[in-house]
Amino acid sequence: MVHEHTYKQFDADLEGIRSRVLQMGGLVEEQISNAIEALISANLELAEQVINNDHQVNALEVGLDEDCTQIIARRQPTASDLRMVMTVVKTITDLERIGDEAAKIARMARRIHESDRLTQPRFNEIKYMANVVLEMLRRALDGFARLDVSSAADIVRQDMQVDEEFRLVLRHLITFMMEDPRTISVFIDIMFVAKAIERMGDHAKNMSEYVVYMVKGKDVRHTTVEEIERVAQR
């Protein structure tokens, strides 16, 4: 009976960690949406809120990390349970860094909209990139929640699309700067926003690769999208 009790407690511990990862993921999604909204609509209050909320993301990371170490020490998980815990340890690092990038975008939004406006930048491409990254993140978290690897290869493909879009944005921004050098400063800020979104895509991709490791027991980082597809389907 003690044995059974211990197992139940272990499952409850794991479930608690899983649900907190999803909570952290939800908060990070919100931080991205709000940072982009603050940038596009010049909402400096919202930018401030994103900057102030970053510590919540950090606190969730630190707490989850500690809980993972505790679970390993006390419950000594093996096989798929251990893979789950190790996946959480890795996933929260990437989530925290996505949160950092969101806070950076919020700080850029503040700078861009507080400076003298020589130009009225349009943010269509930025918004498009951010939407792709948000979808990648949602799908990666969904895969984690459902132990489902069916979207992993697709997320990697979306990351390539985001990288391509980043290069396109870069070319456009350089053209604008050459046309009117007075706009260089503001477009460099926007360039760093695009770079931050591109980084977020990398982190979401990492997360989806960890899900494949968790479910299939195979490390597919640094491989090809075809290899991920192959592993996911078997």
Summarize as ranges the residues that interact with its own copies (CB under 8 A): 55, 58-59, 61-62, 65-66, 69, 72-73, 76, 78-79, 82-83, 86, 89-90, 93, 170, 174, 177-178, 181-182, 184-185, 188, 191-192, 195, 219, 221-222
Alpha carbon distances (Å) from 161 to 13, 157, 176, 205:
38, 6, 23, 12
Q: How far is the CB of 67 from its own copies (least distance, A)?
A: 12
Closest CA to 35 of 151, 160, 148, 123: 123
The dihedral built from the CA positions of residue 127, 129, 135 and 141, taken in this order, carries a sign that is negative
Place of tokens 């139940």: 8
- Shortest reach from residue 104's CB to its own copies, in Å: 12
Shortest reach from residue 178's CB to its own copies, in Å: 5
Q: Is 180 exposed, middle or buried (0-12, 13-18, 19+ CB in 10 A)?
A: exposed
69 vs 150, beta carbon nearer its own copies: 69
In whole angstroms, the minimum distance from the beta carbon of 151 to its own copies comes to 23
**Closer CB to its own copies, 22 or 170, in the complex:** 170
Q: Which is nearer to its own copies, 144 or 210 (CB)?
A: 210
Residue 223's SS3 state is coil
Nearer to its own copies, 63 or 131 (CB): 63
Tell me if residue 83 falls in helix, strand or coil.
helix
Q: How far is the CB of 119 from its own copies (least distance, A)?
A: 14
How far, CA to CA in Å, does 102 sit from each of 11, 13, 98, 201, 207?
33, 30, 6, 12, 17
Closer residue to its own copies in complex, CB, 37/67: 67
Closer Cβ to its own copies, 1 or 73, answer by number: 73
Closest to 106 in 3D by CA, of 185, 35, 199: 35
Tell the smallest beta-carbon distance from residue 37 to its own copies (Å): 25
Contacts by 172-175, CB closer than 8 A, 24 or more apart = 172/125
